[in-house]
Amino acid sequence: MTCKAMIEILFSTGLFSTSYKLLMVINCWISGMITLSDAQALCAECGYTFTKPTTTGAVILSNRDATYTLVSMLTYYHDNDYTKSAAMSAEIYSLIDTLQKAGYLLTDEQTSLKGLGW
């Protein structure tokens, strides 16, 4: 079973918020477990268009109602869904570090996000 297929099964359970699903996809994409095409298809299932970031601060997720950068998506998740999710702080810290190492977050953004109190 592919990673994309496993994510689709998780999506179908109804147990995860949209923001968690989107971060799950981004995490799998940045970790090389799914392709950019798979990430875009999975985000589309959540009603969002995923655009590979080209610079820090770039809009990566959008739909007719909202746009998100990596920082704003992680902040939204923290403020709205984190306390109701199954995510653990170590998982979030790892994603933040991976995004920074890949050049998609500035060091000060990494520090700020990690300081949110996960």
- Over residues 83-97, the pLDDT tens digits come to 887 778 889 999 999
In angstroms, the Cα distances linking 79 to 10, 58, 103, 107 are 23, 21, 24, 21
Rounded CA separation 3/7 (Å): 6
Q: pLDDT (tens digit, 9 = 90+) per residue, 36-58?
A: 999 999 999 999 999 999 888 89
Average confidence score pLDDT of the chain? 93
Rounded CA separation 85/69 (Å): 21
